[in-house]
Structure 1
Amino acid sequence: MKKVGVIGLGDMGSGLARNLVKAGFETAGFDLREDRLAALSEMGGRPAASPATVAKTSDAVFVMVLNGQQAKDVVFGADGLVSGFKPGSTVILTATIKPSEAREIADGLKKHDIHLIDAPVSGGYPGAQAGTLTMMAAGAPEVLDVHQPILEAVGEKIFRVGANAGDGQTVKACLQALIGSIFTATFEAAVLGAKSGISGQVLYDVFSASGAGNNITRNAYGKILDRAFVGTGSHIGTMYKDLTITMDHAREFGVPMFTTAAAMQLFQSGITRFPGEDNWAVTKILEEIVGATVTR
C-alpha cells in the first residue's frame, strides 16, 4: 500500500486527505493551523510537524497551497519536502500556480531525483470533499501510470494533458479564463434582468433550459438568488488569483484576452469591496451601480 501525504489541509486539502484515507491509503498531512491537524487526525490521517516529516513517510505528497511562492517554500524551504523525500518519490502539485513556477519546481526536483506531477484541479470545495474533482495531470507517462490509483482516489475525471511540467497549469489557466468569463456574464445578465423588472427565477429557468444552460451558470445564479455570498466554498480571492495567473500567462505569449481582462477587473472590484466573500459577491457591485437587487 502506498503511503501518501498532503500539504495544506484547508477546504481543498482536507478533502484530498479525507478521500485518500477513505480509499485505504496511509495518509500523513501538514498545515500551519492546529485545528486542521486535529481534523486530519479525526478522519484517520496522521498529523506531522513539518513537510519534511510528511515526506519521510510518504511515497507521494500532494501540495495544495495558495500560490507559487508557498509551493516553492513547502518543497524547497527549511524542513521542506526535498529534505525528507527519498529518491524516486513524487510531488503531486494540485495547487493552481503559474505554469512557469511549476516548471521551476520541476527543474529543482530533478536535482534530487524526485518526480513532479503537475495536476491542478477544478471542482472547488464540493468536488474536493466528495472526491469528484477534475484533474489536469501532466507528467511522464510512466509516473502517471504508477500514481493513477492515488489520483483516482481524489478525482473523478483525470485528464492527461501533457508530459511536461507547466502543461497542467496552462490548461487550468485556459479553463479559468472561460469559467471567470461565464461567471461575470451571468452576474451582468442577472442584474440587467433585475433592473428591467424581470424576476430572477424567470431568467434562471430560461437560461437553464436554453443552449446557454450550464452547471457554472446554474450554480452562480442560484447562489445569487439565495443571496448566499459567504461560506459557499468558492472564495472570491481564489478566482481573482487564478485570473491574474491567466492574464500573466497570456501576456507571456502575447495573446490578447479581452473578455478575461474584463472579468478580472470585475473580480478586482469584488475583492476590493467584499474581500471576505465568495465569487457571487461581484453581483452586488453591479447592483449598487444600477440600484437594483436580483431576487426570485
Structure 2
Amino acid sequence: MMRCGVIGLGDMGSGLAKNLVKAGFPTSGFDLIPARTAALADLGGTPMQNGAEVGAASDVVYVMVMTGAEVRDVILGKGGLLETMAPGGTVILTATIKPADAREIGAALNGTGLRMIDSPVSGGYPGAQGGTLTMMAAGAPDLLDACAPVMEAVSANIHRVGEVIGEGQTVKACLQSLLGAMFSATFEAAALAAKAGVPGQVILDVFSTSSGGCGVVNNALEKIIDRQFEGTGSHINTMHKDLTISMALGEELGVPLHTAAAAMQIFTAGRTKYPNGDNWICTRVIEEIVGAELHRKAAK
C-alpha cells in the first residue's frame, strides 16, 4: 500500500486527504494554517509539523498550494520534498500554476530519483470533497500507471493529456479561460434580470433547462439568488489567479483572449471590492452599479 501525503489542506487539499484515507491509503499532511493540519486527524490522517515530515513519510505526495512560488518552495526549497522523499518517490502537482513554472520544476527533478506528475484538477470544492475531480495528467506513462490507484481515489475522470511536465497546466489554462468567461456572462445576465425585475427562481428554471444550462451556470445562479457570496469553497482569489495564468499563456503564444480579458477585469473588480468573497461576489459589484439585486423570489 502506497503511503500518501498532502501538502496544502484547504478546501481542495482536505478533500484529497479525505478521499485518500477513505480509499485505505495511509495519509499524512501539512498546511501552514495549524487548524487545517489538526483537522486531518478527524479525517483519519496523520498531521505533520511541516512539509519535510510529510515527504519523509510518503511514497506519493500531492501538492495543492496556491502559487508557483509556493510549489517551488515545497518541492525544491530547504527541507522540501526533493531533500526529504526517498528515491523513487512521486510528486503529484495538483495546484494550478504557470506551465513555464511547472516545466522548470520538473526539469529540476530530472536525475534526482524523484519523479513528478503534472495534474491540475477541475471540479472545485464539491469535486474535491466528493472524490470526483477531473484530472489533467501529464507524465511518463509508466508513472501514471503506477500512480493510478492514488489518483483514482480522488478523481472520477483522469485524462492523460501528455507526457511532458507543463502540458497538464497548459490544458488547465485553456479550461480556465473558458470558465472565466462563463462565470462572467452569468454574473452579467443575473444583474440584467435583477434590473428587469425577473425573479431569480425564474431565471434559474429557464437557464438550467435551456441550451445555456450547465453545471457552471446553474451552480453560480444558485449561489447568486440565495446570496451565498462567502464560504462556498470557491474563493475569488483562486479564479483570479487562474485567469492571470490563462492571460499570460495567451500573451506568450500571441493568442488574443478577448472574453478572458473581460472576465479578468470583472474578477479584478470583485476581488478589489470584496477580497474575502467567492466567485459569485462579482455579481454584487455589477448589481451595485445598476441598483438591483437578484433574489430567488422577487421583492414585494
Q: Same fold (TM over 0.5)?
A: yes
1:128 CA displacement: 0.8
1:113 CA displacement: 2.2
In structure 1, give the amino acid aligned to 2:289: I
Partner in structure 2 of residue 249 of structure 1? 249
The CA deviation string for residues 131-166 of structure 1, in whole angstroms up to 9 with x for no partner, is 111111110111000000000001111111111111
Partner in structure 2 of residue 218 of structure 1? 218
In structure 2, give the amino acid aligned to 1:109: L
1:29 CA displacement: 1.0
The CA deviation string for residues 81-121 of structure 1, in whole angstroms up to 9 with x for no partner, is 11111222111000000000110110111141211100101
In structure 1, give the amino acid aligned to 2:127: G
1:7 CA displacement: 0.6
Partner in structure 1 of residue 30 of structure 2? 30
Q: Is the 8 A contact 1:52 1:82 kept in 2?
A: no
Partner in structure 2 of residue 261 of structure 1? 261
How far apart are the structure 2 equivalents of 1:22 and 1:197? 47
In structure 2, give the amino acid aligned to 1:245: I
> Does the alignment pair 1:201 with 2:201?
yes
How far apart are the structure 2 equivalents of 1:151 and 1:19? 10
How far apart are the structure 2 equivalents of 1:172 and 1:44? 31
1:199 CA displacement: 2.0
Partner in structure 1 of residue 133 of structure 2? 133
In structure 2, give the amino acid aligned to 1:21: V
Q: TM-score, normalised by structure 2?
A: 0.97
- Please tell me the root mean square deviation across aligned C-alpha atoms, in Å: 1.0
Structure 2 SS opposite 1:29: strand
In structure 2, give the amino acid aligned to 1:93: L
> Does the alignment pair 1:79 with 2:76?
no
Partner in structure 2 of residue 287 of structure 1? 287
Task: Give the count of matched residue pairs.
Answer: 296
Partner in structure 1 of residue 39 of structure 2? 39
In structure 1, give the amino acid aligned to 2:147: H
> Does the alignment pair 1:144 with 2:174?
no
Unaligned ranges ≥5, structure 2 = none
How far apart are the structure 2 equivalents of 1:52 and 1:201? 50
1:50 CA displacement: 2.2
1:40 CA displacement: 1.0
How far apart are the structure 1 equivalents of 2:35 and 2:195? 45
1:209 CA displacement: 1.2
Unaligned ranges ≥5, structure 1 = none
In structure 1, give the amino acid aligned to 2:241: K
Partner in structure 1 of residue 67 of structure 2? 67
Q: Is the 8 A contact 1:23 1:153 kept in 2?
A: yes
Partner in structure 1 of residue 168 of structure 2? 168
Q: Is the 8 A contact 1:50 1:80 kept in 2?
A: no
How far apart are the structure 1 equivalents of 2:98 and 2:144? 21
How far apart are the structure 1 equivalents of 2:155 and 2:29? 18
How far apart are the structure 1 equivalents of 2:35 and 2:200? 40
4+ runs deviating over 6 angstroms: none
How far apart are the structure 1 equivalents of 2:202 and 2:43? 43
Partner in structure 2 of residue 101 of structure 1? 101
Q: Is the 8 A contact 1:61 1:92 kept in 2?
A: yes
How do 1:4-15 residues align onto structure 2 when only pairs under 5 Å count? 4-15=4-15
Percent of residue pairs bearing the same amino acid type: 59
Structure 2 SS opposite 1:28: strand
Partner in structure 2 of residue 54 of structure 1? 54
Partner in structure 2 of residue 21 of structure 1? 21
How far apart are the structure 2 equivalents of 1:168 and 1:28? 25
Structure 1 SS opposite 2:153: helix
Q: TM-score, normalised by structure 1?
A: 0.98
In structure 1, give the amino acid aligned to 2:24: G
In structure 1, give the amino acid aligned to 2:235: H
How far apart are the structure 1 equivalents of 2:195 and 2:53? 56
How far apart are the structure 2 equivalents of 1:202 and 1:27? 45
1:33 CA displacement: 2.2
